[in-house]
């Protein structure tokens, strides 16, 4: 297998933990663990640290008439609102809204400009955003602590294959289930846990 949207590469793992570059017998097991740990980090943080191009639409519920918190994204291409007809007939111009934060990514909020002609409706799922979703465009661009946490936890899970009770289930080559991250790894990723509405 190959790692999909993992926060570490096979080469990085093998270099850091002195696995021979010519020994490919353990590659599949390592790749499986790295991908599993990457998805657990996503789940615990409530966000994905890789991009989901191309732009797609998602619906949100505004927190006020002037502010709507959204999933992480790198680019907002369209903001639409609805009047209850489920048609999202109000197509906002870029002069109607700000993306927050203004000078960096990920974008986590859309706010009404003072001179904008629209306001966010209060009803559930009446805001539709088209964007490229994700904390960063690629998994390789994930924050350093996230990548280091992935490497550290992946190695620990991989090494537990040697212990009789160190993993939850096994195949012939690899652990198949990762239950939780170690406490010190959780501390590394805690600053990146999504804080909705704040």
List the chain domain ranges.
10-49+140-192, 52-133
The answer on pLDDT for 174 being more than 60 is: no
Over residues 112-156, the pLDDT tens digits come to 999 999 999 989 999 999 999 999 989 999 999 999 999 999 999
Q: Give pLDDT, residue 21.
A: 66
CB atoms closer than 10 angstroms to residue 79: 26
Q: Of 63, 47, 75, which is closest to residue 191 (Cα–Cα)? A: 47
Q: Give pLDDT, residue 37.
A: 96
Over residues 30-66, the pLDDT tens digits come to 999 999 999 999 999 999 999 888 999 999 999 999 9
Question: Across the strands, what pairs with 97?
Answer: 112
**Element of type H or E holding 187:** helix 183-189
Contact 76, 107 (CB under 8 A): yes
Using only C-alpha atoms, the chain has a radius of gyration, in whole angstroms, of 21
Query: Alpha-carbon distance 180 to 189, whole Å?
Result: 13
Task: Decide: helix, strand or coil at residue 172.
Answer: coil
Q: What's the pLDDT band for 163 if we cut at 50, 70, 90?
A: low
Report residue 186: phi and psi, to 5°: -60, -40
Q: What's the pLDDT band for 164 if we cut at 50, 70, 90?
A: low
Higher confidence at residue 158 or residue 166? 158
Over residues 75-87, the pLDDT tens digits come to 999 999 998 888 9
| Residue 144 Cα to chain centre, angstroms | 14
């Amino acid at each position: 297998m190959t790692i999909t949207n993992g926060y570490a590469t096979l080469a990085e793992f093998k270099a850091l933990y002195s696995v021979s570059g010519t020994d490919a017998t353990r590659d599949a097991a390592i790749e499986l663990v790295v991908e599993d740990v990457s998805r657990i980090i996503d789940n615990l943080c409530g966000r994905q640290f890789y991009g989901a191009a191309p732009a797609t639409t998602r619906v949100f519920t505004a927190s006020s008439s002037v502010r709507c918190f959204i999933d992480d994204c790198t680019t907002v291409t369209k903001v639409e609102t609805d009047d209850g007809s489920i048609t999202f007939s109000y197509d906002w111009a870029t002069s109607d809204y700000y993306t927050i934060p203004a000078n960096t990514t990920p974008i986590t909020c859309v706010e009404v400009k003072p001179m904008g002609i629209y306001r966010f409706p209060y009803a559930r799922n009446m805001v539709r955003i088209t964007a490229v979703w994700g904390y960063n465009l690629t998994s390789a661009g994930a924050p350093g602590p996230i990548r280091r946490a992935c490497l550290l936890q992946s190695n620990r899970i991989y090494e537990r294959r040697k212990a009789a009770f160190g993993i939850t289930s096994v195949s012939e080559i690899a652990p198949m289930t990762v239950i939780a991250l170690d406490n010190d790894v959780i501390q590394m990723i805690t600053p990146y846990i999504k804080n909705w509405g704040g």
